[in-house]
Amino acid sequence: MRGLLLTRIRKDYNYQYGIIKTAIDWTVIVYFIIPLLFFTGLFYRSLWIEPPVWFDWFDWRLAALIIALSVLSSRWRTFLYEADSVFLIKRRDQVELILKKSFIYNLVFSFLETGIIIVLLLPFVINFLSVSWLSVVALWVAAASLRVSGKAAFYFTWLKFKGWELQAGVIAIAIGLIIAAFPVVWLSLYVPLAAMLPLIILMAILPVLLKNSLLSAGRILDHGLKEREYKTRLIKKMFSMSYEVDTPPRAKTRSKPWLFGYSQKIFKNAGPQQALAELFIKHYARDREFTYHIMRFFGAAGASGFFVPSGWGYLIIVSFLAFGTVMVLGQMWAQLIDQHAIGGKYKTKDAYFKVRRIFNVIVMVPYLVFAVVYFV
């Protein structure tokens, strides 16, 4: 029992490494990863040598926004398994020990993750904002505190709420994090000592605050389910990208959908095209994993409008993102039709191709709008 958490962490890393190894062979390393690292390194070096002109457009708020946005994709880990709800049900003390230790893991890991973000931000913070190294340390503490608090808040919301309350909670926390990031980052940059103290106190009392929720053994199964969802995220992505593999069914914790709860129709007319469009819209409105990817593409296109000074550069980026969006859309369709036991037999239907084309055109609209706004 003593080293259970460490064993599980090691197993988890080996598991993720195994998944990555199946997707990345030497050709990907040679033709993609090494050039990417090389050019990223060159770009990063150039930021140190000569700060780019576009740095002028930003102040400390850029750092705050990047730090806040980075928290949105982070996850709280417990390393509990579903099976623990059976085998450790009488050892609540051990479960709580794992949860307490996992708090330390989340804290340390958040410091490491934010450390990387801070290193990437250093040319901007040191060269451009011209703050002291003490401020950099304070920024690191602030970013890590935000990250841990954000992870804990998201996880708590998931444990506590379901359906629309969960959606509302997640949105509220995301907005709260973005708003909180601005004063926290400003204070850590310009009043570093004063900023660090309350944050360190917050980190110290966080375990007490979370004692009855995140660190409680009362919901072992929920912890296990959430952990499995996180653990298998990479393999699920690979499943969804692989055309020849059946899509594995997903465990559901709710029996009714939260949108169109009484199976209301979207389109009045009935026909193959409407059926396919309705299937797509309803499915991805309720399961927003892919939708988030597309939103990120749109977000990247919008944000790069501020960062990229050259018109040609912007056009290339937008074209690349638009292409990426169409690829993601293709995967989304494949999951519903090409790879699916019900939808599979409709993959050669004309209506399917027509609807795919229509959706491809629709997702191009935001890119066109961004491009027009950029050039105007």
Partner 1 sequence: MLKVQIQSGSYIPNQSTIQHIHFQLHPGELLVMIGSNGAGKSTTLKAIMGQLPFLEGEVVFQKNIRYSFIPERPVFYDELTLQEHLQFIADIEELPEAEWKPRAKMWLEKFQLMKVIHELPGTFSKGMQQKAMLLLALLTKPSLWIIDEPFMGLDPSAVKLFMKLIEEERKRGAGILMCTHVLDTAEKIGDRFVIIAEGTVSAHGTLEEVLSQHGAADLYGCIPEAE
> Which positions lie near partner 1, rule CB under 8 A?
244, 246, 249-250, 252, 254-257, 260-263, 265, 270-272, 274-276, 278-279, 282-284, 286-287, 336, 340-346, 349, 351
The total number of residues written for the chain in this structure: 376
Nearest to 274 by CA among 337, 336, 355: 355
**C-alpha 237, offset from chain centre:** 13
Instruction: Say how many C-beta atoms besides its own lie within 10 A of residue 334's C-beta.
Output: 18
Quote the least distance from Cβ 335 to partner 1, whole Å: 9
Quote the least distance from Cβ 113 to partner 1, whole Å: 30
Choice between 290 and 320, CB closer to partner 1: 290
Contact status, residue 169 vs residue 161, Cβ threshold 8 Å? yes
Instruction: Say how many C-beta atoms besides its own lie within 10 A of residue 135's C-beta.
Output: 23
Instruction: Report how far apart, in Å, the C-alpha atoms of 157 and of each of 29, 75, 151, 330, 331 are.
Output: 39, 12, 10, 32, 30
**C-alpha 81, offset from chain centre:** 22
Quote the least distance from Cβ 222 to partner 1, whole Å: 16
Quote the least distance from Cβ 80 to partner 1, whole Å: 23
Choice between 103 and 352, CB closer to partner 1: 352
Choice between 56 and 350, CB closer to partner 1: 350
How far is Cα 294 from Cα 183, in angstroms, rounded to an integer?
30
Nearest to 232 by CA among 15, 78, 8: 15
Choice between 190 and 258, CB closer to partner 1: 258
How far is Cα 295 from Cα 169, in angstroms, rounded to an integer?
19
Quote the least distance from Cβ 249 to partner 1, whole Å: 6
Choice between 121 and 355, CB closer to partner 1: 355
- Fill in the amino acid letter for 371: A
Choice between 162 and 345, CB closer to partner 1: 345
How far is Cα 139 from Cα 182, in angstroms, rounded to an integer?
11
Choice between 111 and 352, CB closer to partner 1: 352
Choice between 25 and 56, CB closer to partner 1: 25
Choice between 50 and 246, CB closer to partner 1: 246
Dihedral, CA of residue 312, residue 316, residue 322 and residue 328, to nearest 10: -160
Quote the least distance from Cβ 326 to partner 1, whole Å: 22
Nearest to 371 by CA among 321, 301, 295: 301
Quote the least distance from Cβ 29 to partner 1, whole Å: 23
Contact status, residue 23 vs residue 238, Cβ threshold 8 Å? yes
The phi and psi torsions of 120 (rounded to 5 degrees) equal -65, -30
Quote the least distance from Cβ 365 to partner 1, whole Å: 24
Contact status, residue 77 vs residue 106, Cβ threshold 8 Å? yes
How far is Cα 371 from Cα 375, in angstroms, rounded to an integer?
6
Quote the least distance from Cβ 259 to partner 1, whole Å: 9
